Structure 1
Amino acid sequence: MASKKPLARVLATFGTASDGRLGLGFPIARELYPRIVACLAGYSVQQVSCGGAHTAVVTDDGTLLTFGLNDKGQLGHSREDKFVAAPIEVGLPDPVMAVAAGGSHTLALTTAGEVWGWGMAGEGALGIGDPDQGRQVEPRLVKHLTGQDVVALAAGDHHSLALTKGGEVLSWGRGDHGALGHGAVHGHVGVEMLPKKVRALAGARIASIAAGPFSSGALDREGSAWGWGYGNSGQLGTGRYANELQPVELRALPSGLRSLALGQLHSLAVLATGEVASFGMDSHGSLGAGQATLRTRQTVAPKIVPGLPPCRAVAVGWHHSAAVAEDGRLFTWGASGAAGQGRFQDYGGGQLGLGDDEDRWSPEQVFRLHTSAHRFYDLRTSYIKAQPWRVKQISAGRNHTAAVIETPLDTRDLAS
């Protein structure tokens, strides 16, 4: 009897390819289906984090690799290059345990318990104090977090979060809309150049943290949720169309939450039952509630996303959403065309991985995984009895998506 192929844990990316954020090389404008980053096939991928237009990957042995836009130094290498279209290792003194990619900065937590940051530095998002220059290419030690027993990181567009082993949350960077959770001083929400404890969460025993572009969130050990920051579209789940300058417990969500993902205008939460709740602005179908939401456009009350099996994880991009089922299947909905202008070069679309750039108002399953430009594994293939690929972890950037996928990969299929 033939032996089974060993399972490989690979990285797949899809969506807008501008500035090299998919790691698939040039010239690629977009990728409409999840496609394996072939040059990482020799690694066992542990985690991926999508920033505004760059991507960071951690492997099982603690290697950190980044690719994409580098205009602010957010890749941590390639000083003279504005973008890099293939993964390159970031040199750090110890193996990396976790990474968080923000709008234009990146944070890494090493096995030594140290936090390092690089990228856009002038607005405090790196937590290194008043920097000598706004573009920090080489990783800098966040000295203020030394000895704090940091266990998790999160990054927004201009701010950052850290979670300690004792359940305390620290935040730093720009406090626009209340994203830092420190409240206001004489009506002013300022910039924190160094990590500062979020005092309103003292005693809450926080177990996980999340960051949207201009908002922050946390879950405690019982699965109760808090949110703060930008909430004018109801995307915090507080029940109000308002910004929150300090953490507010999200009582509209039941306790026992599994995960929380915050976006610019909408957010998702996985309930204890595996159901997914959405709230905020329904841009391009991002809430997943069907086209009936065209009549309401936004909601402050979390509502269950219909048509999903029990899920364990979710991810939120600018106007798109993704959910990973308990059995590893991937579902996406929302915007599939490139959205937005500004400092990011967003062209192409395809971040839903469904084969086109058409928006979806309800969740649809992603069936196809490309191993190269012309070869793929499809969950609908009749002669394959076992599920040929399963998603282990998902992350969404502004207009691109990345997934850690487990599959019995045949390396010959990586050839074009």
Structure 2
Amino acid sequence: GANSFGQLGLGDTSDSFLPQQVIGFPDQQVIKAISGGGGHTVATTVSGEIYVCGQNSDGQLGLNHTCDVTHFTLCTAIVNLHVSKVACGWNFTIILTNNGELLSCGSNNFSQLGRSGEGSSSVPRPVDVCKKIVVDVAAGLRHALAITDDRRLFQWGTGIASHAKRFVQKNSVPVIFTAKEPSPVQDTGELYVWGRNQHGQLLHQDLFVLQPWKVGDHFFLGEKIRAVWSGWSHLLAKTESGKLFSGEEELLSAWPSLEIGRGSNRRHEWASQRGSNTGPDSLLNQLLPGGLWIGAQSSNKRRFVIFLGME
């Protein structure tokens, strides 16, 4: 992929057209998760440390300087904390520890660090989420979201309407969510969406949905939702039976079930069956959304890419 800032961690800034193994990862650490921003990458280890590389013009790597880094480098500012999850925005980073603390670094031009009125920060600093314990976090282009242990959803930054509430105090209890268009999945398997809707991906008539809006069960053939992912202009939802539904550009009235391996170059003509003998197993275990594409891993461990959104 693109490597203009060294975000691939290969020691240079040359783009790579084929996957390359990162040789000599620091301290032989075992990686449990990777998060990517606009030009930076953060790897979280099983021991709770984070290694960073790539663009650092706003201090988003948390290394107490603003120089780009082409090798994965330990973020020493938080070595005494155990990191459980990292969410990268375009040029900022949100860090969640195992005891529910939230920290952030990078650009704060749109208050995306959760500290209004402050400038950028090149070291991770605490985010006060109303003195609550955070259990999950996500980041979009210029905004972030956090779920607390008392089942409240907080949001801050830009990408949310300027007059939208800082947090939602409805009866809804999100347990899974993503951040390009915030899309929580409730215990009941219902899907609520809000935010930008220029491509109809939220299945709503308004171009911007200001409050959480429940997507009708009929869009999913009456099945409960168990997971949801988003890209730049599309959403994907996985039901309890393993069906995959898409909501993306030009799909203004329905989210048809995707037939993996048979798609169409016309976005509104995805088949309604579940998989085919010629394609990968349609029971998907993991999806990794990009701006205009979705990387997927099926239950038989085969990996493939679904291209969705703008052509």
Q: What is the TM-score with the length of structure 1 in the denominator?
A: 0.64
Q: Does 1:280 align with 2:248?
A: yes
Query: In 2, distance between residues paired with 1:61 and 1:72?
Result: 27
Closer, same or farther in 2 for the Cα pair 1:170/1:308, shift >3 Å?
Answer: farther
Closer, same or farther in 2 for the Cα pair 1:302/1:112, shift >3 Å?
Answer: farther
Corresponding residue for residue 156 of structure 2: 172
RMSD: 2.7
Classify the secondary structure of the residue corresponding to 2:129. Answer: helix
- Structure with bigger RCO (C-alpha 8 Å, 6+ apart): 1
Corresponding residue for residue 230 of structure 1: 196
Q: Are 2:89 and 2:140, in contact at CA under 8 Å, matched by a contact in 1?
A: yes
Corresponding residue for residue 89 of structure 1: 74
State the one-letter code of the partner of 2:99.
A
Query: In 2, distance between residues paired with 1:315 and 1:45?
Result: 17
Identical counterparts, % of pairs: 26
Long gaps (5+) in structure 1: 1-14, 179-188, 340-358, 360-416
Deviation of the 1:239 alpha carbon: 4.8
Corresponding residue for residue 185 of structure 1: none
Counterparts of 1:172-191 in structure 2 under 5 Å? 172-176=156-160, 178=161, 189-190=162-163
Name the one with the larger strand percent. 1
Closer, same or farther in 2 for the Cα pair 1:291/1:272, shift >3 Å?
Answer: closer
Corresponding residue for residue 150 of structure 1: 134
Q: Does 1:40 align with 2:25?
A: yes
Q: Does 1:24 align with 2:10?
A: yes
Q: Does 1:216 align with 2:182?
A: yes
Counterparts of 1:237-386 in structure 2 under 5 Å? 238-240=203-205, 242-251=207-216, 252-253=219-220, 254-281=222-249, 292-294=264-266, 297=267, 306=275, 307-309=279-281, 310-334=283-307
Deviation of the 1:59 alpha carbon: 0.6
Q: What is the TM-score with the length of structure 2 in the denominator?
A: 0.84
Query: In 2, distance between residues paired with 1:313 and 1:69?
Result: 27
Question: CA offsets, 1:321-373, max 9 Å, x none?
Answer: 111212433221328xxx9xxxxxxxxxxxxxxxxxxx9xxxxxxxxxxxxxx
Classify the secondary structure of the residue corresponding to 2:54. Answer: strand
Q: Are 1:117 and 1:141, in contact at CA under 8 Å, matched by a contact in 2?
A: yes
Question: CA offsets, 1:83-137, max 9 Å, x none?
Answer: 2111112221411011101111110111232100011112111112210x2x211
Q: Are 2:263 and 2:271, in contact at CA under 8 Å, matched by a contact in 1?
A: no
Corresponding residue for residue 99 of structure 2: 112
Corresponding residue for residue 364 of structure 1: none
Corresponding residue for residue 59 of structure 2: 73
Long gaps (5+) in structure 2: 251-257
Corresponding residue for residue 197 of structure 1: 167
Classify the secondary structure of the residue corresponding to 1:57. Answer: strand
Q: Does 1:56 align with 2:42?
A: yes
Deviation of the 1:291 alpha carbon: 6.5
Classify the secondary structure of the residue corresponding to 1:30. Answer: coil
The total of aligned residue pairs comes to 292
Q: Are 2:296 and 2:306, in contact at CA under 8 Å, matched by a contact in 1?
A: no
